[in-house]
Chains A and B, each alone.
Chain A
Amino acid sequence: MKMLSKRNGYFLAAILATGFFYFNGSDVTTSVYATGTVFALPLALAAMVGIMCERTGIVNIGIEGTMLISAFVAFFVASLTQNIVIGLIAAIFTGSMMGLVLAVMAVSWRMDQIIAGTIINILATGLTSFLYVQGKTIPNVFQSFEIPLLSKIPFFGPVLFIHGALTFLGLAIILALYVAIYHTTWGLRSRAVGEHPSSADTAGVSVARLRYINVTIAGAVGAIAGAYLALELVGSFERGFIAGKGFTALALMIFGRWNPLGALAAAMFFGLAQAYANQLMIDQIVNIPSQFTAALPYIMTIIVLTISAGKVRPPAAEGQPYEKGQV
């Protein structure tokens, strides 16, 4: 089944159930799940960047950098113009440009894609550190609002339907991407290009063009993930703001088997784990040093990748440049 592999499905159900029984108080449970969703969203969106690129055969390890520079642009443009929507638009433009740069390096110049991604990460770290100014503020963040009716559904209403605009946008992108990959012409062609590019080439599909389009749009999606952190979840920007989320996302993509819903499930698992940990500390049930909580995503990434290593099958043409007529 394409929607969720059985294993991922059971896994997610188990996680959801554990928390449900543990935090028996209904308000607390609901708020833990809502927080979990909030934590999960940027990871899931970032994983979408990876999926869009790798499904067409381009390895994108520049997600971290794309998110960082987009979050930076989002925050400082919003601060300069005192308008968060303009900040968001500027970020999306920036992210697309980062995607385009990667496409030029990986598709046209046929550069090693790991190096191309690393260039983007270094560029982003350097630029944002250099241009960073302290003490800037933005007028407001994207505020939470309720979707009428849907938000009244017990449990799921507050967990899924009371959020800021960018959360909804992000969830919509994930669902749309899922449908697009498996049910549209674009999705079929993208998968063909990522699995066996010469098949697409000989069927009259331009491999280079599709790779350009996907990597550029993916950059825009990465920008939304970055802007979400700066303009909705946190409302500020600091150096090293993304804190490894772009790399964690690659692990989630693998764990979710390059399937948008699989990656969303994996991200929910991460988000919820973080939300549990927070709740445990608030309830003073356990006293975990905050360094440990901060390290949690990395530890879990290692565990998750160890579990799934060797059992997954990436798109076959991943990381390989293609030359037209190379049949």
Chain B
Amino acid sequence: MSALLEVTGVTKRYPGVVANDNISLTVNAGEVVALLGENGAGKSTLLKAVFGLIKPDSGEIKIGGTPIVFGDTAGVISRGVGMVHQHFQLVPVMTVAENIILGDEPKRGIFINKKAAHDEILALSKRYGLEVDPEAVIEDLPVGMQQRVEILKALRKDVKLLILDEPTAVLTPQEIDELLGVIRNLADSGVGIVLITHKLHEVMAVADRVVVLRGGKLVGATSPKETDEAGLAQMMVGRSVVLQVNRTEAKRGAVVLEVKGLQVRDDRKILSVKGVDLSLHKGEILGVAGVEGNGQREFVEAICGMRHREAGEVLINGVATKDMHPHAVHEAGISHIPEDREKHGLVANYSIADNLVLNQFDQAPFAKGWVRDLAEVAKNAISTVEKFDIRTPSAFNTASSLSGGNKQKVVVARELSEELPVLVAAQPTRGVDVGSIEFIHNQLISARDKGAAVLLVSAELDEILSLSDRIAVMSDGKIVAIVESKDADRNYIGRLMAGLKE
């Protein structure tokens, strides 16, 4: 029997980069193949080609022994290939049912058979143990639930090959465990699975084989049995990576940021931050741990002036900051690495160079009075791209042309460039490869050592544990405990995050 998926010599060039350079790879039924690589290594490009979304410049892709027709996504789907994309491919205003049936709708005459669709989805969700409400509207659902819809969509057509492009990037630890279980079950039932992820422990937990891409080339293949996380990281980055952050004892100074009785409502007008008091000292990293959706996002947005403070105040060096005024808050001394880099961190159509000075484009040296000094902007861009190892053919390409991890580096580089007294970093390494994570972590530590007060909010408990000097646990809109990190116990914090008392 021929392999489920056979990729032979695929090459795809984009202006200025070779995204895939002569890549060959096979996937057999019943195995989980993890595809590893840094951001921009060409993983997504390869899988888009497999799914018929883009046409490679050369090479061949066979599914079940027959070559695919490039550009014929519907044909690829009908041959039993399902894909969960890195960015949700769901229509926000439509229902779960409408999203799942899109492209191959059950019909009665010329009309959509809504009853049949509803029943089919209930059956599907029962079969895979992924519960959904077919009539719920996507935009009202939490991300974990949306991801579940994505997976059901991919599984709908008796899938033989399932491709998952960073499916765990936005999930909580519990949701990730659940998903890995689903992946294992599917593989055991004979489905071939290709998994892209940046989280090496997931690879170790679930993969049968590992294939590593670097700079568009296939640089190695291994299996979890033959290596460990450090070995995988080294293959990806091409040098040894320190997974454990080295940091010295914090030199804690005076209180810089003070939050008093803060209450904030979420988008649905429900009180999600229910009275938070917090002091952040100069020269320390305070990590806020918590299961996502427990008010962290609203908390950060309220501090940074992006969301109305229902009650309470935020003081910097004893001076209250203005509510709902991001610019004033920034002037008062807070830089902010936002959770959603696409929406709040970057202007997609601006160049990387312009994005790097968004916070100080109107100040010297980037402006002289009313006139921008573009030479300075360019000089800054070139040196920053070099220093932060932002992978791009040119600093003057648009930010939208960058891969996720490189976009994040632009945001981090910009926010650290000013050296303000307070740095608020929300999910700073989400969707970022190990090499870049190491880099970003070191940048946060060095900002701390230079005297900044860093508020780190992350859904990754490991990140919180390895970076923070103190850890605050947030649950149901409240800080339920603050512990010194040297006294922190993983299990204890995990229980607090889950809302359990002691």
Contacts and interface: CB of A to CB of B under 8 A. Distances in A.
B105 A185 contact: yes
A204 B105 CA distance: 12
B104 A188 contact: no
16 contacts: A188-B94, A188-B112, A191-B91, A191-B94, A198-B85, A200-B103, A201-B53, A202-B89, A203-B103, A204-B103, A316-B92, A324-B53, A324-B54, A324-B71, A327-B85, A327-B86
B54 A198 contact: no
B125 interface: no
Interface string A179-213: 00001110011011001101111111100000000
Which of A183, A192, A201, A327 has the most chain B CB within a 10 Å cutoff?
A327
Given A188-B94, A202-B89, 7 more contacts: A184-B110, A184-B112, A199-B89, A202-B83, A203-B153, A204-B103, A205-B103
Interface in A206-231: none
Contacts of A327: 48, 53, 85-87, 89
B141 to A, nearest CB: 15
Interface in B43-84: 48, 51, 53-54, 71, 73-78, 83
A313 B94 CA distance: 14
Contacts of A289: none
Identify whether the interface residues of B are mostly helix, strand, loop, or mixed: loop
A201 B76 CA distance: 12
A194 to B, nearest CB: 9
B144 to A, nearest CB: 19
Contact of A195 (B75, B92, B104): B92
Interface of A: 183-185, 188-189, 191-192, 195-196, 198-205, 313, 316, 324-325, 327
A177 to B, nearest CB: 13
Contacts of B71: 324
3 closest Cβ pairs, A-B complex: A204-B74, A203-B103, A325-B53
B284 interface: no
A196 B111 CA distance: 22
B102 interface: yes
Interface string B183-218: 000000000000000000000000000000000000
B112 A183 contact: yes
Contacts of B54: 324-325
A198 B89 CA distance: 6
Nearest to B53: A325
Contacts of B112: 183-185, 188
A326 B112 CA distance: 28
B11 to A, nearest CB: 16
Contacts, number: 83
Interface residues of B, number: 33
B116 to A, nearest CB: 13
Contacts of B92: 195-196, 316
B297 to A, nearest CB: 22
B12 to A, nearest CB: 11
Contacts of B51: 202
Contacts of A192: 91, 94, 98, 102
A232 to B, nearest CB: 29
B480 interface: no
A203 B110 contact: no
A198 B51 CA distance: 13
B495 interface: no
A202 B85 contact: yes
B251 interface: no
B347 to A, nearest CB: 16
A36 B418 CA distance: 65
Contacts of B90: 196, 199
Interface string B92-104: 1110001101111
Contacts of B107: 185
Which of A196, A198, A202, A203 has the most chain B CB within a 10 Å cutoff?
A202
A80 to B, nearest CB: 38
A195 B98 CA distance: 13
B405 to A, nearest CB: 17
A188 B87 CA distance: 21
A201 to B, nearest CB: 7
